[in-house]
Amino acid sequence: MINILEKSEQEIMSYQPLSELQIGKEGGTIQICVARIWHSINYKQANDIISLDFLATDDKGNAIQAIIHKIHMKEFESILKEGHVYCISDFKVSKPKKSYNVISAPSAITITSKTKIVKASSSALSFQRHYFQFFEFEHLPHRYKINETLTDIIGLIISMSKVTAIYVSNKSTKVPKRNLQLQNIKFATSNYTFLTNITFL
């Protein structure tokens, strides 16, 4: 019984923190919680699914975006669930995508056909369930046309239009558009137009 406990503790210590991952090197074994999972969609090509992405957090408070390209989606999509903990090994550490990352981070994880993902028995309570990088309202105008990272904000929706579809940049495919009036905790209000999907939490 003592030997089993010692082995278990040693295995836990062997997990690599997300902060130690280096671009260009294969990662060791990480233990993470899936905070969010979604399909990345190319609205310029008839809403074609590009990849299955998820935001992973570890028990040290770190976070990283993981990417599963379309060719490997079927293999992993049924395994991954939000709020569950997994052990992941044999993955690649890559640069973040050029646009629409959910967090600003120096690296990302690419899941390949060689990657192993196993559901862990560890409690998700040790992991940060939600991870955001919030911006103040006054900084939002400066993020116009900056699409490397998506923008997280907290606000009260004062009014909201119905979703309409419009053409953008002379493209043949329409994208959804919604107008919002938001109020922050200082009771300042601003009007915004959002293209594509918006996530409300």
pLDDT tens, residue by residue, 107-137: 999 999 999 999 999 999 999 888 888 888 7
**Which CATH number fits the domain that encloses residue 82?**
2.40.50.140
pLDDT at 146: 76
Give the span between the Cα atoms of 110 and 130, in whole angstroms: 21
Report if residue 200 sits inside a domain. no
- Residue ranges making up the domain that contains 175: 137-195
Report if residue 201 sits inside a domain. no
Same domain, 104 and 176: no
Give the span between the Cα atoms of 126 and 69, in whole angstroms: 29
Same domain, 114 and 181: no
Chosen domain end from 82, 98, 126: 126
Chosen domain end from 81, 102, 126: 126
End-to-end CA distance of the chain: 45
DSSP SS3 for 108: strand
What are the C-alpha distances in Å from 33 to residues 16, 18, 86, 169, 170? 14, 12, 6, 38, 40
Same domain, 51 and 104: yes
Same domain, 88 and 147: no
Tokens representing 183 are: 């109020």
Number of helices and strands (H, E) in the chain? 2, 11
What amino acid is encoded at 164 in this protein? Answer: T
How would residue 167 be classed by pLDDT, with cut points 50, 70 and 90? confident
Same domain, 71 and 150: no
pLDDT at 4: 32
Same domain, 144 and 67: no
Nearest to 64 by CA among 112, 113, 21: 21
| Higher-confidence position of 143 and 201 | 143
Chosen domain end from 126, 149, 165: 126
The region of weakest confidence among 40-54, 149-163, 184-198 is: 184-198
| Higher-confidence position of 200 and 151 | 151
Same domain, 108 and 154: no
pLDDT tens, residue by residue, 17-54: 999 999 987 768 999 999 999 998 876 666 688 999 99
How would residue 172 be classed by pLDDT, with cut points 50, 70 and 90? low
pLDDT tens, residue by residue, 60-115: 999 999 999 999 999 999 999 999 999 999 999 999 888 888 888 899 999 999 99
Total number of domains constituting the chain: 2
Same domain, 106 and 16: yes
